[in-house]
Amino acid sequence: MNEINNQGKSIISTIKEMIEESGINHNDFYKTFQQEPLPLNKVKEIFQQYYYYIRTFPQILSGLAPRVEDELIRLKISRTVVSELGDGHGDPHYIMFEKSLSAIGVTLDDYKEASYIPEAESLVSNLERLFLKESPNYAIGAHYVIEEFGYPMIVNLYEGFRLYDSWEHEDFNYFYLHILIECNHVDWIQDALISAATDEQAKDELLSGAAQVLEVLMNFWNGLNRLAHQ
């Protein structure tokens, strides 16, 4: 068991290095979004793409739970899904984000009917593939990346949204909540990853899943930056 734990911790360290080396936590879109307010029609266009990601991810993640054999991993996945959907006593997080947008005067279209840039479509389709079709280990590695870079993402987006007028502090609960709970999500997926790291094949799959999702996430943020400048 100690050997498995050590291997899992080694994988976690490797994925953290991958995230840092990718530059995703300091990507160009964050810089663009924090530089000056964009027109609200442009904000809508950009965050319609982001909404597609956060709206579909709990659905995709919930589909992973019945595919794993380890009950601890199933528990950690399920806890994250429940958290994303409001934990039984609050709004689902995607609704909280809708309210944040509404506070600055932006109303999104139905996500099932909206138009998406290729990078957003690629992100969601690759998440569906990794979480619902490939070996679950690919999804666990990918999920760790998503949660590990989640805190810097929320902080950077919050700094950009603060440039806009008319919002009150309670309108931005989406950001405040994630700043508080993102560490819990990271802890849960770390536990799942350590449990999954049983041998060399599992290690390779975990790292491959992390690398694949990191690539499509980088492309996604680059796509949003391109959209901001169009």
**CATH superfamily, with its number, for domain 2-229:** Heme oxygenase-like (1.20.910.10)
CA nearest to 73, candidates 150, 137, 145, 151: 137
| pLDDT for 86 | 83
Q: Record the tokens describing residue 69, joined without a space.
A: 């054999």
- Residues 89-131 have pLDDT tens digits of 788 999 999 999 999 999 999 999 999 999 999 999 999 999 9
Low-confidence ranges of the chain (pLDDT < 50): 1-4
d(Cα 142, Cα 214) in Å, to the nearest integer?
Answer: 8
d(Cα 189, Cα 185) in Å, to the nearest integer?
Answer: 6
Domain positions in the chain are 2-229
- Residues 213-228 have pLDDT tens digits of 999 999 999 999 999 9
Which helix (H) or strand (E) is 216 found in, with range? Answer: helix 200-229
